[in-house]
Amino acid sequence: MANFLDLLGRFLISALFLVSAYNKIFSLDGTMSWMEGFGVPGFLLYPTIALEIILPLFVIIGYKARISAGILAIFCIATAFIFHHDFIDQMQTISFLKNLGLAGGFLFVVANGTKDWSVDKERKYVRL
């Protein structure tokens, strides 16, 4: 049961990024304009999309999950402070706290790793 819950948790915390990347791909111009409105160069959208696809998949399948989760935690904290710092707007405050909560979840993966259902699971071999 612990393996299933671990995999489910990794999937749930990563799913947001996969959906976000999908939305960014189909709204490149709008997303670039939005980013540039915060002083972030629009060309950074492309590495952001790659990050939002590759690293969450690594966390889900358990390949280099600790490193991927650590990078995603930093990404969540950075985006919280860059894009969601208008605390007068309640939606921005909620988005800020959501990003911090996601970062906390990723830090759990960094601290605890993954259970048995992961690509990097250390296999124990018995010598005969």
Q: Residues 5-16: pLDDT tens digits? A: 999 999 999 999
pLDDT at site 125:
65
Q: What are the pLDDT digits (tens) for 100-116?
A: 999 999 999 999 999 98
* pLDDT value of position 121: 79
Tokens at residue 77, please?
Answer: 């904290």
Tens digit of each residue's pLDDT (9 = 90 or more) over 47-100: 999 999 999 999 999 999 999 999 999 999 999 999 999 999 999 999 999 999
Give the pLDDT confidence score for residue 123 in this predicted structure: 66
pLDDT tens-digit profile of 13-46?
A: 999 999 999 999 999 999 999 999 999 999 999 9
